[in-house]
Amino acid sequence: MPRLTLHSIRLRLLSVPLRRPIVSNPTVGRYDAWPFLLLDLTTHEGVVGRSYLEPYVAKSAPYVIAAIQSIADALKGKPLAPLDNYRTAMQTMHLSGRQGVGLVATSALDMAIWDALAKAADLPLAAMLGASTGPVRAYNTNGLWLLPPERLPDEAMSLVAEGGFSAIKMRMGRADFAQDRAALEAVRRAVGPGVRLMVDWNQALDFGEALVRLHALDDEGLMWFEEPIVFDDYAHCAQLARELKTPIQIGENIYGPRSFHDAVQAKAADLYMPDLMRIGGVTGFMRCAAIAGAAGIPLSSHLYPEFSGHLLRAAESTQFLEWRDWANPFIAEPFEVKDGSVIVPDRPGAGLAWNEEAVGQFLVDQT
């Protein structure tokens, strides 16, 4: 393992316009642009590790920035060893709580540290983790929000064509269930039987409504029902998983490997998809991958396709990478998508570099 010591960090908040705006249920809302928090971690040895966060709400960024800076200040001049650094950061949260902003900040630094170490070793991150680079099966999540059903067929066909995808995700949770069914029928007619469909409810339903709607759709041959109810209601999630033929998918809102293990122990879902920002970065994700692998549970990713691609190459029970291109406008070399797979490149680290001209265009003034 290369020896690196932290010199300094740089944090920048971006607001990047979306090609297809997010239009979801009232608890999520509408987004025409998406916030990104870029982290550049510079070492005394001259290696720069990079990562980014997607904080959902731009107004929360100052709190995350302060937490990242606080942890980085404690690491200055010390050897960068991600497992040690992760353990130390988690220990500092024993009184304040092991979830929330502290873990989000830890995740950002953990990803950047792993990126720097892999670059110093002149290895792709996947290789640092004992795997190889190459394709990871993916589904396209870049659209099919809560739009009128008649607008969805053309968009669905575009999603398939963007990378030869054989799986795409659509959202449900309209006030009128008949409109949800009409949307599903419109998309299925457009893409045909050769394209698999995942359905994401974004926690829009109460348990009673979920029982009615999910049972009504249980014979539609969908890949999964994602977060139909509040994700941490493990007891009712587990009941849905027991009763339904269609798999239940959760995970993007779980904080840290311990909570992930709690969900698995509760049999809260059939499938899991950790989010790198909440799960603890590379270190947290790989610990969850070990839990899922040992339990024989299929594992997918949520957002962060560049880092996730490397981690899913190294995971035992990989199912799907969630592909979204929202960061492509400011990434110097976006990952290639071909034949329904994201190609993890044979570049040192996570393969991330910023297009600085674009970064300047999307930069949010925080003064």
pLDDT tens digit sequence for 43-69: 999 999 999 999 998 899 999 999 999
Please report the pLDDT score of residue 365 as a whole number: 80
The 10 Å CB-count burial string (b at 16+, else e) for 251-260 is bbbbbbbbbb
Find all residues with CB under 8 Å of 178, minimum gap 6, and list them. none
Pick from 3, 1, 10, 14: nearest CA to 357: 14
pLDDT number for residue 89: 86
Q: Three-state SS for 223?
A: coil
Q: What angle do CA 326, 330, 335 make, to 5 degrees?
A: 65
Neighbour-count burial of 157, counting CB atoms closer than 10 A to its CB (0-12 exposed, 13-18 middle, 19+ buried): middle
Q: What is the pLDDT of residue 367?
A: 57
pLDDT higher than 70, residue 269: yes
- Please report the DSSP string for 255-317 in residue order: -HHHHHHHHHHTT--SEE--BHHHHTHHHHHHHHHHHHHHHT--B--BS-HHHHHHHHHH-SS
Query: According to the CATH classification, is domain 127-344 in 3.40.50.300?
Result: no
pLDDT above 90: residue 1: no
Specify the range with the lowest mean pLDDT, choosing from 49-53, 87-91, 119-123, 333-337.
87-91
Considering all CA atoms of the chain, what is the largest pairwise distance in Å, rounded to the nearest integer? 60
Question: What would the two tokens of residue 203 be?
Answer: 């926690």
Would you state the pLDDT for residue 27?
80
> What is the average pLDDT across 116-131?
97
Beta bridge partners, 275, equal 302
Tell me the pLDDT of the chain averaged across its residues.
95
CATH 3.30.390.10 positions along the chain are 6-123+356-362
Gap between the Cα atoms of 205 and 194, Å rounded: 29
Residues 6+ apart with CB under 8 A from 361: none
What gap in Å lies between CA 324 and CA 300, rounded to an integer? 14
Res 257 pLDDT > 60: yes
In the predicted model, is pLDDT for residue 325 greater than 60? yes
Q: Is the pLDDT of residue 94 over 80?
A: no
Cite the residue boundaries of each domain of the chain with CATH code 3.20.20.120: 127-344
Q: With a cut of 60, say whether residue 198 has pLDDT above it.
A: yes
Distances (CA, A) of 9 to 68, 99, 123, 364: 9, 23, 22, 18
Strand pairing of 225-226 and 248-250?
parallel
Contact predicate 50/356, CB 8 Å: no
Is 95 exposed, middle or buried (CB count within 10 Å of its CB: 0-12, 13-18, 19+)? Answer: exposed
Helices (H) and strands (E) in the chain, counts: 13, 12
Percent of the chain scored above 70 by pLDDT?
99
Cα–Cα distance, 219 to 184 (Å, whole number): 13
Q: Where are the alpha helices (DSSP H) in the chain?
A: 61-75, 82-91, 101-120, 125-128, 152-161, 177-191, 207-216, 234-243, 256-265, 276-279, 281-295, 305-314, 356-362
Average pLDDT over residues 350-356: 97
CATH architecture of structural domain 6-123+356-362:
2-Layer Sandwich (3.30)
Give me the percent of the chain exceeding a pLDDT of 90: 91
